[in-house]
A and B are shown apart, each in its own frame.
Chain A
Amino acid sequence: MRPRANCDRPGWQAVAAQLTRRHYLMSAGYGIGLAALRWLLASEAQAAERNPLAPKPTHFPPRAKSCIFIFLEGAPSQLDLFDPKPKLNQHHGKPLPESLTKEVRFAFIKKETAVLMGSERKFTRHGQCGMEFSDLLPHLATCADDILMVRSMHTDQFNHHPAQLTLFCGRPFFGLPSVGAWLAWGLGTESQNLPAFVVLSAGRGTSGGASLWQSGFLPSMFAGVVFRNQGEPVLNLVNPPGIPAELQRKGLDALKQLNASRMEMLNDPEIESRIASYELAFRMQMAAPELIDLSDETQQTLDMYGVGRPDPPNSNRFRGYAPGHFHQFALNCLLARRLVERGVRFVQINHASWDHHSNLPPELAHNCQMADQPVAALLKDLKRRGLLDTTLVVWAGEFGRTPLGENRQGYARPTGRDHHPYAFTIWMAGGGVKGGTVYGETDELGWGVVRDPVHVNDFHATLLHLFGLNHLKLTHRFQGLDARLTGVGGRVIHEWLA
């Protein structure tokens, strides 16, 4: 294991590095002018001032400092997890009145013959607040009092990728920054050794790919950096074979001199930024291995998350399966906590696929078995470390699933649900939201929202608010307009705030 002090105390490290360099430059005695020397010593301070990732003031005092966004790609069924509908079970097998479906478009359901499908799940109440969860999420249910459950979400899109873009970028268009990039851009980061916005994935890839963590029209340094599940945690982090850290450092010292002398000649501040980038790169090389080294975690912690647990037998028959994903998802939840601890602003955890058009009961059960324990462990672990107050945890899919069973062309009988943008559930915890609260309500079949509707733009507006940002003021000039995450919509939902 590497020494910790170096990474945890950048101030000390910087001083040490400067001392060495001064010594080196003076003793080298070649034609570097005094001006260059002065410049070199001043440059790091200046570069830090100009560093676009340095922490920035908020519009008003923030509640949350970091966000862990757990994205269940494909859209989990709210009717089988969070939003119990006894009436739907009673009407199982019956068609919906045409008035409800007339204007509605579906991805696969054939309207003419579609019938309602009840849920096989059992719902029970949990916590002081009595929040209802289905039997698929026993661990999460124990966190009920920390959870703000929103049952009245709705979106505009009913196909995956456009809806995913809406969930992350506010609108279904390409070229817009995702929410993590907005936060990184708006707030900078507390971490000087790690990126501001980190993406972790388990299982199959998400269909939206990099567009879900893109920086869009914001500078690329605000895009999500994908931490990898195999090999080096960050692309190109590891020195090439045969180049030890000491030579890497010597090479960077020479490089810094070469760049500095060019800077002295041309006065271009871009050269200064380049020098700063190489120095941060070197610090990341030191810090990232320490991040993924779990030797300082107790066995109890590892077990609580389920790190190291095997995939259940025969799980390869499920859609969401990828080898080792039970372990990987648990590990990602733990890494998310470690990243937040180290000052990373936004961690996005992706898992695919929750798109259960058919065979829903066993598929959903499998995915929940994977997600339930680690997510609950994350909430409890954050809480016991005092991090939950400032860390907003979000659980969301891109839309919900239909109360109608899916009778797609070629299906013998409905065993799954189609895409449903009109009413779905997400939940949040920590970061200044009011735990133990259920917000919004859907009708007795779960078809539409009947109380306190929340558009994705409203969710974003409130999320930014938790971070001390006014969604109307966090704007960036793009295509002649002051673009914002919430497009032309969004309102802050004050009832969510603790």
Chain B
Amino acid sequence: MRARRLLAAAAGVAFGWLALAVVLAEDGPEAQKVDFLRDVRPILAEHCWKCHGQDDPESGLRLTSREAILGRADGGKTIVVPGDPDASELVRRIEATDDERMPPEDEKPLSVEQRQLLRQWVAEGAVWANHWAFEPVRQPQVPPVRNRRWVRNPIDCFVLARLEQRGWEPSPEADRYTLIRRLYYDLVGLPPPVDEVDRFVADTSPDAYERLVDRLLSSPHFGERWGRHWLDLAHYADSDGYEKDRARPDAYRYRDWVIEAINEDIPYDRFTIEQLAGDLLPDATADQKLATAFLRQTLTNEEGGVDQEEYRIAAVFDRTETVGTVWLGLTIGCARCHDHKYDPVTQRDYYQLFAFFNNSEEVTFNLPVEGKDLDLYQQRVAPLEAALAERYRQLAPGEKEWETNEHRRILAQPEGTVQEVSVKIVQAQSLHPEQVRMEIDNDAIRVTSAGGGPDELPAADTYQIEIELPAMELTGLKLYALADAELPQKGPGWAPDGNFVLTGLHVEVVDPQEGAVTIALHRPSAGFAASGFGAERVALGTRAGSPGGWAVKGKTGQDHWIQWRTYEPIAVTQGTRLRVRLEQHYGDRHLLGRLRLVALTGGYRGLHLDNEEIAGYLEMYPEKRVARMRERLFDYYVTEVIRDEEVARLRREIAKITAEHRVKFQSVRAMGTPLLPRPSFIFHRGEFLSPTVAVQAGTPAVLPPMRGVDNSEPTRLDLARWLVSPDNPLTSRVFVNHVWQHLFGAGLVRTPNDFGMRGELPTHPELLDWLASQVQTKLGWSRKQLIRMIVCSATYRQASARRPDYEAADPENRLLFRQNRFRLEAETVRDVHLAAAGLLSERIGGPSVFPPMPEDLAALSYANNFTWTTSRGEDRYRRGMYTFFKRTIPHPNLTMFDAPDANLPCVQRTVSNTPLQALMLLNNEVHVEAAQALAADILRKSAAASDTALLVAIWRRCLARPPQEHELAALETLLASAREYYSAHVEDATAAVGSHHASSIPVAEQAAWVVVARTVLNTDEMITRE
């Protein structure tokens, strides 16, 4: 209801901003009047715009703006005469009873009420209102106020003017303790150190507050605090999401980019451009490319059998909607399926935005993370990389064709898995028959010394074996090297350690008529190979004396196998003979001691390809190939199929420069451009299998158009520049609102993700616009300057105590007659506990960490593909924002306090208050340890002090302010009970103290203090920003 009433209040921009905003909840006489946005626009949108809309309207008649409706219809009649419904063609046509009636018969008719509403609207003057958020940002005058002394900066005038209209007064300034704690929580997310508190409280100089603000704004922890806010919008996580939910070990690089960018206060326009299109900037740096990982926080589905195109498009939907939410403050996802009557963004608009991201490509690039003179390195390789990318683009059509042809060719080949076929051994012979005896033992061959002991065997040999095949489709040959008790170390070889080395293989068909025909083989593979003696080292063909070969050192004493495949199936008749030569030229008696040969059949598909992995990918339906398979195919095509010289040369040069600079890389997800441009379509009902009309990249029609884009299709870079252009009415307002929300617990627009028709109106529209224009001009898009301005205002500095006298009229404090009091976020709850205890690590950035997590929870993740290896040392005590975030199994301590699930952008976290939170702060390992460490630290530092002094010390570590008498009394009573208990239960005392025993203090005494510390840490005040 509230939203509706507020909409009613919006009856006309004509009434002026103040007029519409002052209305809180009371209905004025205005409510009886027809309201354009509430009553009329939905009728036009639903019933008229289909034919009389923006594009190619029926009879040239548009009903989309006031100018248009005041014009004439075909035939010269005036469409709408304000105030005179009977002279208005529009009214006549909707009320007609003949075939002139609109909408025409085959369309949904208007109801009686709807026709009356339209008539009344015309009678009342046909007021046409545009939605406030799509109007240009104005530069309102700072309003005059009576109580000038209260005002610290113009923000206060806007707030106070509204309060004075009601005859209300702002709250007094909060006390110094609350102020410093508020600033610490808001700007760096940590409790203020006690000495810092005392200095601030004692500092009576007029600019003490501002100096504190400046100190905190320049703290490196500022970037963590405000970076985490941004990561909520980016929906950052350390894993893929969906079923497999694989880890993303590179994800933290983007998180660190955000922290650094915010610490450096990169202006918000640049911050926007780099994250949406850093890769498209001229001479993009590695950091700018990294910034586009903003767009890679989408989920990836590698569940077996999924259609990759479906999930690629799901990610593009996500990017489109994320940009809508984060910059435009609009929930545009509804337009994915069809137009909605209340929605300013149409389905066409949606797919035009979609097209920017559809014609983008998920890429990984090598981020230089270490090396000599990385700036110079980047300058040197940038042109080469650009040339390489260009070359890839040229090769892409050919690659596509190759992939398609190979896929077809493979699918035309018969199916069937590889199977072994026994063969009959006809004869087996050594090159040195006088030294080597070869004995056929069923289907195996045993090799022994002809003369006596193994010493008589030759150092090297070639076995020639003739086998007879049944009628079959021959697709390969497999050799088993068999263990045998008679061999050294049980074999399978004759070398003293049981090893052998197969150096070469030659296979030919023995044809009585045509003589010997060599069989070409490829795709060597082995069940096991010693390091440096892989299957591929076996020489194929007649080449002799190869130094390499296949060997099994390290796993002797057991059976092994190696196999080769033919290039195509060879149909052989019953009794066909093959002659197989097994060359073993390594020396030192590295000879096979027992072996068996089998023929292979089946596995026809992709047999002509050298690489089994590639053949497998090519056989898959293209839409089932995941990104890494597609990349592998492209690379194989370039390097193995066409062996492109240009690519090879460029890669060599890059490798050379990389070596010179000794660069180390990390592979990082980012955004790029596809090798082949990808067209975009409107999907019927959002179904990716139902493309309808083609669309070009573009921006929503309801917003000012892009400027300065030439005839070619605009890119992500154009989109990013448009978002931060002075014409754009939304970006600056939405940005200001986000910042405000974190400093007051609620935005100036209370629906921060909906600046559209269904959202709420701003509580202080002029203030919102004033800030939005300031941020773009005077503040140069500086986040820090904006925050500084807000936190220095008297409005921000108010106390947060409730004002029962005003709350009845304004229960949500929309007029800002006080500050708000709100619970800390999940990460910060952890941080303030650890910081108060003196445990918190202050390290900034780096790979995500794994604080303790219950084992059974970690085990819940898919197929146990992931192990949560608890971090040790300092990493146990890192800030909450560094906890590895696995989307399917987020850390319970984070979700318990409403950390978002990272599946969608989170503009506003929920703030719940549950018993499970109470249990966590009371009993969870981390929080219990904080109590133990806090007690130990205080006792250690002031062992000789009185109980009261110690209680005050603990209290102030946690809450900054000194405790009041009755608060001390409550804790003293608790302390006494705990002392009494522990003096009688020393084992419990030892357990309660945990690993933080201060050795000089009796354990029972320390345990009592742990109980006290735990209680203070659990106060509501501890986790509340007041």
Contacts and interface: CB of A to CB of B under 8 A. Distances in A.
A258 interface: yes
A130 interface: no
Contacts of B890: 210
A412 B1019 CA distance: 64
A342 to B, nearest CB: 15
A125 B800 CA distance: 70
A89 interface: no
B964 A229 contact: no
A142 B901 CA distance: 43
Given A206-B860, A267-B802, A479-B754, 15 more contacts: A31-B964, A31-B966, A106-B305, A204-B863, A209-B888, A221-B913, A235-B916, A237-B923, A247-B981, A258-B1021, A259-B1021, A266-B802, A270-B1024, A278-B922, A480-B342
Contacts of A472: none
B912 A221 contact: yes
A367 interface: no
Contacts of A120: none
A210 to B, nearest CB: 7
Nearest to B902: A174
A481 B751 CA distance: 13
B758 A238 contact: no
Given A205-B861, A254-B973, A210 B895 contact: yes
Interface string B899-921: 00101100000101111111110
B439 to A, nearest CB: 35
A469 interface: no
B973 A267 contact: no
B171 to A, nearest CB: 11
A229 to B, nearest CB: 6
6 contacts: A107-B306, A221-B916, A262-B1021, A265-B801, A409-B620, A479-B331
Given A250-B974, A258-B1015, A236 B923 contact: yes
B904 A235 contact: no
Contacts of A234: 916, 919
B992 A241 contact: yes
Contacts of A280: 915, 918
A231 B305 CA distance: 37
9 nearest A-B pairs in the assembled complex, by CB-CB distance: A107-B305, A242-B992, A209-B888, A242-B991, A174-B903, A205-B860, A241-B991, A267-B802, A281-B918
Contacts of A225: 916
Nearest to B619: A409
A114 B1026 CA distance: 66
B474 to A, nearest CB: 19
A159 B623 CA distance: 14
B607 to A, nearest CB: 14
Interface string B1001-1020: 00000010001001110111
B243 A241 contact: no
Nearest to B988: A242
Report the contact-size class of chain A (Cβ under 8 Å from the partner). 35 or more
A480 B756 contact: yes
Report the contact-size class of chain B (Cβ under 8 Å from the partner). 35 or more
A407 B620 CA distance: 13
B212 interface: no
B331 A209 contact: no
Interface in A229-275: 229-231, 234-244, 246-248, 250-251, 253-255, 257-259, 261-262, 265-268, 270-271, 273-275
Contacts of A240: 922-923, 928, 991-992, 994
B904 A480 contact: no
A281 B915 contact: yes
B970 interface: yes
B304 interface: yes
B1011 A159 contact: no
B28 interface: no
B919 A266 contact: no
A201 B889 CA distance: 14
Given A268-B802, A285-B919, A175 B924 contact: no
B19 interface: no
A481 B757 CA distance: 12
Contact of B1020 (A174, A210, A259, A479): A259
Contacts of B969: 28, 30-31
Contacts of B619: 409
Contacts of B888: 207-211
Contact of A204 (B306, B616, B864): B864
Contacts of A175: 901, 903-904
A33 to B, nearest CB: 9
A271 B759 contact: no
Contacts of A237: 919, 923
Contacts of B798: none
Nearest to B909: A220
A278 B917 CA distance: 8
A281 B988 CA distance: 22
Interface in B843-886: 854-857, 859-864
A70 B1016 CA distance: 43
Contacts of B917: 277
Interface in A299-324: none
B620 A277 contact: no
A248 B1026 CA distance: 27
Interface string B408-436: 00010001010000000000000000000
Contacts of A211: 888, 901, 903
B420 to A, nearest CB: 12
Contacts of A96: none
Interface of B: 241-245, 299, 301, 303-307, 331, 333-334, 342, 411, 415, 417, 616, 619-620, 751, 753-754, 756, 758-759, 800-802, 804, 821, 823, 854-857, 859-864, 887-890, 892, 895-896, 898, 901, 903-904, 910, 912-920, 922-924, 928, 964-967, 969-971, 973-974, 977-978, 981, 985, 987-994, 1007, 1011, 1014-1016, 1018-1021, 1024, 1026
A244 B988 contact: yes
A160 B922 contact: no
A256 B977 CA distance: 16
A479 B856 CA distance: 35
Interface in A104-140: 105-108, 112-113
A424 to B, nearest CB: 17
A32 interface: yes
B993 A242 contact: yes
Nearest to B981: A247
A328 to B, nearest CB: 11
A259 B913 contact: no
A254 B297 CA distance: 45
A258 B801 CA distance: 16
Given A175-B904, A219-B910, A278-B915, A255 B333 contact: no
Given A107-B305, A251-B1014, A229 B856 contact: yes
A402 interface: no
Contacts of A497: none
A58 B135 CA distance: 44
Contact of B889 (A32, A210, A231, A409): A210
A474 interface: no
Contacts of A230: 855-856
Interface in A480-496: 480-481
A257 B1021 CA distance: 13
Interface string A179-217: 000000000000000010000010011111111001000
B1011 A251 contact: yes
Contact of A236 (B898, B920, B1011): B920
Given A254-B974, A480-B754, A242 B1021 contact: no
Interface string A374-413: 0000000000000000000000000000000001011110
Given A30-B970, A251-B1015, A238 B923 contact: yes
B306 A209 contact: no
Contact of A220 (B759, B898, B1007): B898
B334 A479 contact: yes
Contacts of B854: 228, 231, 235
